[in-house]
Amino acid sequence: MEAEERLIRTEYSEIMQKSYIDYAMSVIVARALPDVRDGLKPVQRRTLYDMYELGIRYDRPYRKSARIVGDTMGKYHPHGDSSIYDALVVMSQDFKKGLPLIDGHGNFGSIEGDGAAAMRYTEARLQKVTQEAYLADLDKDVVDFIPNFDETEKEPVVLPVRVPNLLINGAEGIAVGMATSIPPHNFAEIIEGVKAYMKDPDINTEQMMQYVKGPDFPTGGIVTNQDELLSIYSTGVGKIKIRGRVEIEKMKGGKECIVVTEIPYTMIGAGIGKFLNDVYNLVETKKTNDIADISNQSSKEGIRIVIELRKGANAENLCNLLYKKTKLEDTFGVNMLSVADGKPETMGLVPMIRHHVAFQYELATRKYKTLLAKELEKREVQEGLIKACDVIDLIIEILRGSKNVKDAKACLTSGDTSKIKFKHKESEKDAKQLCFTERQATAILEMRLYKLIGLEIDALLKEHEETVANIARYEKILTSRSEMAKVIIKDLDAFKKEYARPRRTTIDNVEAAVVEEPKVEEMDVVVLMDRFGYAKTVDVTTYERNREAADGENRYIINCKNTDKLCIFTNTGNMHLLKVLDLPFGKFRDKGKPIDNMSNYDSANENLIYIEAMSHIIDKQLVFGTKTSMLKLVNGCEFDVGKRTTAATKLAEDDELLIVSPVEAGATVVMESKKNVFLRIALESIPEKKKMAIGVRGMRLMPGDELASIYYLAADGEAQMGGKDKTVALNRLHICNRDTKGVKR
């Protein structure tokens, strides 16, 4: 009889919530965030362990990266080859890692953002420091091993890293709902910080910062907010401000040049190209006239970006402009998030070191327990062999009188002589006194005759003395935390001596860059914009001389000051601001530039409704009208804002702005619907509203109808509009009440 089918009813949202949380935790713990103990993400840990297993050591030949990636993917990390190769590449780049863990051979990318060659072309092997400080002692049961994804291999839960890798190399990762960003630090400083904590576990962040001065980026640069570092390292969250390092060099002819020799860590990759483009834009937009040329002369020797200045230029002011307007000064967001005890946790500097030190004590305890067990086994065997040498004649007689190994071993371990033939009764009596252990008996039976040579016996005795000394030392380390601390500190000092390097990043308090803006001479200009959206400015004299041609060729002609701003209103309800100074100033026949390129206006997705100088509308009222017949008046001062783009009005869904116009007393508005219904109303019937109000209804539209156009008529204005079958004189329409149906023409 088949089992009865059971339906389990449950809330759909609960299933989705549980599934999403499970997925998020999987990404957080098993992919995106590093472990606080070894400072490695799973893909990095698995790649290093696979190289260790393949025997790709620092003193052996390089192996193809494709072999390493394929082996790692097949055994430990079934998430695609690109993620593994990317991790391998980053671990080999000395401009990203303070302490590269992999020795790459071939094209592994550049600081300017060039990608690494394909994995089939490059080769790699472990760095010496990785082998000695990250992978040593894996054979001493210092970490737990778990089955891999298909349970055919074993992989370590964490690598036995002996230095605080999470702080030395930093980390970056984006998980689900959280991200980590830990800056790299100086190797020697972090080692000294760990030693200071081990000597005083109650040390606070301020005291710790006497040893760890701040981040040490592999690209150098200058940290400019030293006073804020204490707060950042206390909470694990904050913003580090970094600048590139610049030098001012003299050139021929009395000129100077600014040379960028170190870049901010955040500029690595495409940031260098963007920096060059930003400098070009400063020249093109006339933010500065002091730059004559810029060239990137960087090489294997280091960064060298040369900015040549014009004669008489103020180099210091230009440096400040570069800090303010480009990525030469940038912010590194710190969020010291890592996985601790299986959960994501944001920690400051001292808690991270506390976790590392606790891990070191755990590693040392497991290591010396394993070594002690081996030495105890060795001592047992050595004592058996020494004892056997004293009664070697008896043992030889037992062996010669035995029929098999089993009988001989029984005699050696328990004195059982029942199955052994002896030549002398005294020998049998002595044999019954033997009580070797099982391990000692096995070693005696496997002993070779040359071990009976006098020198070999002396060597055995000496080896036994060393074993006994090792046992005493290991037991002392395991029973005394202070002795274990001395051993850990001794190893740290050895690593520091061999792998420490001078600090590259300068830590200081630097005042914010202040740029002296060049004073602009105010003058009257005329803005000309043609029907294709190309705009320019000319002086008033030029316009007057070419008035007839200018009026015929241009859609908009605006008289204003060069210090004014243009307000660009679009059908989407947005207003874009554009400085008149940003428009090219020149000759009448110059083509100009598209306003799309100089403002946030997007001609592909929005239509220009009205454009005017800010000074012309700031003291006036503007009428707004939409295709759903919503009208309002807005005071022009509401549009005097600092943003380049702002919402000029609030629109209902599927609505569209049709008219924006400054108004005068006595004016009227005529609305025309798509079904040829016209309504003329007085402006006095339209209330003044705030810019983010929708407005009031102008014409009561029939179902399915909407406004096609809205016309503004001055008090004495005349206008005609072509209706369905005849021309409509708009100024002859009767002025009706607002919110009425209008008349059909």
Catalytic residue positions, numbered:
121
Q: Residue 194, class by beta-carbon neighbours within 10 Å (0-12 exposed, 13-18 middle, 19+ buried)?
A: buried
* Chain centroid, CA 392 distance in Å: 71
Helical (H) or strand (E) element with 240 = strand 237-243
Could you tell me the sign of the dihedral formed by the alpha carbons of 655, 658, 663, 669, in that order?
negative
Distances (CA, A) of 130 to 70, 91, 135, 160, 446: 21, 11, 6, 11, 39
Distance CA 507, CA 183 (A): 14
Distance CA 340, CA 353 (A): 12
Q: What share of the chain is helix, strand, coil (3-state, %, to 5)?
A: 40, 25, 40
DSSP string for residues in 617-677: HTTSEEEEEETT-EEEEEEGGGG--SSSEEE-S---TT--EEEEEE--TT-EEEEEETTSE
**Token pair for 390:** 């004293």
**Token pair for 644:** 């380049």
What contacts 381, CB < 8 A, 6 or more positions away? 439, 440, 443
**620-635: string of b/e by CB count within 10 Å (b at 16+)?**
bbbbbbbbbbbbbbbb
What contacts 459, CB < 8 A, 6 or more positions away? none
Residue linked to tokens 């997705």: 605
481-499 and 454-479 helices, crossing angle to 10°: 100
Beta carbons of 723 and 745 less than 8 angstroms apart: yes
Distance CA 374, CA 372 (A): 5
- Give the bridge partners for 294, in sequence order: 307
Largest Cα span, the chain: 148
